[in-house]
Amino acid sequence: MTHKEFMAFIWPSLLAMALFIAVPIISVAYQSMFVEHEQIMIETETCGPFGCTPEVAVDQDAMRKVREDSPAGRFNGLDTYTNSSHLATDEITEIVATSENFGEIRDRIMNLPFYKALIFTLSYTFIVTPLVIVFGFIIAVVVNSIPSFLKGPVIFFSLLPMIVTPLVGSLVLFWMIDSRGVVGAFLQYLFADPSLSLKASPTLTWVTLFVYGVWHSAPFAFVVFYAGLQTVPSDTLESSMVDGANRWEQIRFVVMPYLLPLATFVALMQLMDNFRIFEPIIGFSASASATSLSYLIYTDLREAETPLFGSAAATSMLTIIGVIILLLPVLFRNAREFNRKA
Amino acid sequence: MKFKLTTALVACGLAMSTTAALADCGIEGGSVRILSNDFEALHVIADAAKTCANDSVEVTSNATTEHKNIQVPALTTNPASYTVPIVATNSIVPLLNEDLIRPLDAYVEKWGQQLLPQQLIKVDGKVMAIAFMANAQHLFYRKDILEEHGIAVPGTYAELIEASKMLKDKGVMEYPLAANFKPGWNLAAEFVNAYLGTGGDFFKAGSAELDIDNANGMKTLETLKAMTNYMSPDYVTYDTNGVKPIWEANELAFVTSWGSRASAYIGDDSPAPEIAKATALAAMPALMDGGVPSAALWWDGFTIAKNISDEDAEASFRAMMKGISPQVIAENQELAVWLVDGYAPTPAADGVVANLQGKARPYPMVPYMGLLHTALGDNVIEYLQGSESAEQALDDITAAYNTAAKEAGFLN
């Protein structure tokens, strides 16, 4: 294919990618370097049904001119990235300087909102992703070996967790783990501990979210591996049987190496998805014990009456950088293999 | 459902009778587009305003819980997508900050004879909103349980905690108390309530500088923490809707919750009629002995958008006068604590009225209060759960607020 032909085929995709991916990211990056204008305040009196109080209000006439002059806001450079709600560089310097030992440094850094969210996000990503791959593979192998008339219904039920919308799925489970719900009550009975509450303890909340994550994503890995299993070359399998390999050895030495590229694909997708964990935190009302980077963006935009666009944009950019760092090893590995084959 | 139906019928019947009398509210023409939160009292008002519609007057309404998030973008366009944003103490602030609503003095003078002085929300001497209902959190208690154990209705937090302890020690209930302690907006509202009870202010006078890192802030945090000792550990997930079923399951003796939910707690259509009958309402407890009820008072009211034609603005104001007319309110007394002329409080209003009589303080209407509310919502829970000290919690709140206030341009 000539370069000209190649361009003719690729330009619609390139255009769409530029419009819908590159431009929004650039605009978010631009936004993250601006903050609101300094508000010009006037002292006023506010009166209402409950009496009058002296208050301050924004001076509209003065602000109108400032806003017209520079509608994007006040240039702040990278200061939003380094403030105490994000990377908190000044705070960390101070913590390192004034703490007595490593444990204190760790505890104080983990109390900063960004790092608190980051540690949960990373824990979730690195615990859920491998478990999803393992469980997805096991389900795929099991389903592949059941009689064919059962396969349809079993596949359908295995896929259900993925079909359910994350928010709805987590809400359903949230009610089930309530101490009056079927799972919560059973656990209390099982451990003979009437005060056991999956919602209250930070540790158990984390575990609940991890379990939910595996439950929700395992079907995705299952589908991919199941499709892969259909293409495992039967002659290789048969020759391994002739060589006397048992079932485990067939899986270990024939199926697994064959499916490895698929595992890389699943790992890539899951790392990206899990790093952006958000809905379960809302669904499980888990924000007391677990916050994620996406949750920080949500609170910046939704909790306050006045959204903090600059802060949300900075967290978004940090999330993108985080995803890139996470994916780099996997991408490098893929590129190396590609070069070797070529 | 049946209850809703009859309310709607009453509203319709009333609307028809007054429509005939007032001949289409007398509006010559224009478009009225209402944006509001989604609850029964606001539906009644919007439905009444809609009776002003005729061939030349268009009246539409969008009642959505997302109203707070769409109001600023919707009013920034010219012409604005909505002419009447219905707001509360906190949600009017972004509209004021962004200069999106118009002063109403001329309209009040011309068309607002029915309004009481207390309904006018004045900022810097100009009427910016018309309030029509009040709301606040207050105490719900089980009078049967209190009578049985000889407990007086708690007037202070200390008494509330004492009474809860007694019920727990006697084995009557494991966790007799509940409140909306879910981190985020709800928990922050509880902090605001209790802090107002100390008599302190959130900010240094006339500035955006935070002033809660003091004895008042400590006292507030300690009180909230003392309450959690008598609440189920699940309190970290409790919001307004989460608490009500537990109350109805006969597992609670005290709840602090919103006045706008009172009619659902004590109504005849409650799923647990016995418990509804035994439910009584009182003012929010005071934080200090002899102090005011520690509840923030809120109002709900309407504003008129700036970026619309004068004809639409006039039509909107007059349609809303119809919506909150004393006749409409008289037929819907039980739905809210109305601020409108001729309102006679119903039993469901007992709690809010007790707060008002106890001189509880209003929720601060300053431009940066929302930023503090968010900072409180994120940083109180770790102290309550015992993973950090009260001093650390106050430091964290201050740090989060200062960062946000700097970004929003209120602090240097």
Please tell me the predicted confidence (pLDDT) of residue A256: 93
What is the pTM for the complete model shown? 0.88
Chain B residues inside the 8 Å CB shell of A52: 122
- Average pLDDT over all residues of chain B: 90
User: Is A306 near chain B, with CB under 8 Å?
Assistant: yes
Distance CA A288, CA A265 (A): 34
Distance CA B56, CA B48 (A): 17
pLDDT of A181 over the 80 cut: yes
What is the CB-side half-sphere exposure of residue A58 using CA atoms within 13 A? 25
pLDDT of B24 over the 80 cut: no
| A-B Cβ pairs (cutoff 8 Å, strict) | 174
Q: Which domain holds residue B331?
A: 2-135+298-352
Distance from CA of B274 to the nearest CA of A (A): 21
pLDDT of B27 over the 80 cut: yes
* CB spacing of A38 vs B90 below 8 angstroms: no
Q: Do B237 and B113 share a structural domain? A: no
Phi, psi of B281 (to 5 degrees): -120, 145
Q: Tell me the per-residue pLDDT of A276-321, one tens digit each, with 9 for 90 and over.
A: 999 999 999 888 889 999 999 999 988 777 789 999 999 999 999 9
CATH of the domain at B281: 3.40.190.10
CB of A171 within 8 A of CB of A230? no
Question: Which residue in A46, A74, A200 is closest to B365 by CB distance?
Answer: A46
pLDDT of A68 over the 60 cut: yes
| Type of residue numbered B107 | Y
Q: Do B182 and B115 share a structural domain? A: no
CA-based nearest residue to B124, from A59, A282, A162, A21? A59
Distance CA A21, CA A12 (A): 14
Distance CA A212, CA A170 (A): 7
* CB spacing of A197 vs B91 below 8 angstroms: no
* CB spacing of B387 vs A202 below 8 angstroms: yes
Q: Do B251 and B224 share a structural domain? A: yes
Q: Do B279 and B252 share a structural domain? A: yes
Q: Do B114 and B7 share a structural domain? A: yes
Distance from CA of B221 to the nearest CA of A (A): 16
Q: Do B319 and B379 share a structural domain? A: no
Going by the DSSP 8-state scheme, the letter that residue A101 receives in this structure is S
Question: Which residue in A285, A288, A304 is closest to B385 by CB distance?
Answer: A288
Q: Do B306 and B253 share a structural domain? A: no
* Domain annotation covers residue B358: no
* CB spacing of B409 vs A44 below 8 angstroms: no
* CB spacing of A36 vs B94 below 8 angstroms: no
Q: Do B141 and B96 share a structural domain? A: no
* Domain annotation covers residue B412: no
Q: Do B248 and B346 share a structural domain? A: no
Please tell me the predicted confidence (pLDDT) of residue B13: 42
User: Is A72 near chain B, with CB under 8 Å?
Assistant: no
How many domains are contained in chain B? 2
Helices A102-110 and A89-98: crossing angle in degrees, nearest 10, is: 150
Place of tokens 């305040």: A41
Please tell me the predicted confidence (pLDDT) of residue B3: 42
Question: Which residue in A37, A180, A289 is closest to B409 by CB distance?
Answer: A37
* Domain annotation covers residue B83: yes
- Three-point CA angle A35, B410, B301, nearest 5°: 105
Q: List the 263-292 stretch of A: residues with Cβ below 8 A of B.
A: 285, 287-289
Distance of CA A331 to the CA centre of its chain: 19
Chain A residues inside the 8 Å CB shell of B128: none
Q: Do B260 and B314 share a structural domain? A: no
ipTM confidence score: 0.85
Please tell me the predicted confidence (pLDDT) of residue A342: 61
Question: Which residue in A57, A288, A308 is closest to B96 by CB distance?
Answer: A57
Domains present along chain A, CATH in parentheses: 112-341 (1.10.3720.10)
Chain A residues inside the 8 Å CB shell of B121: 46-49
* Domain annotation covers residue B362: no
CB of B45 within 8 A of CB of B132? yes
Chain B residues inside the 8 Å CB shell of A199: 233-234, 236-237
Output the six-digit token pair for A80: 């939003």
pLDDT of A69 over the 90 cut: no
The percent helix, strand, coil of chain B (3-state, each to 5) is 50, 15, 35
Q: What separation in angstroms does the CA of B352 have from each of B87, B138, B296?
A: 19, 7, 10
Bridge partners of B32? B59
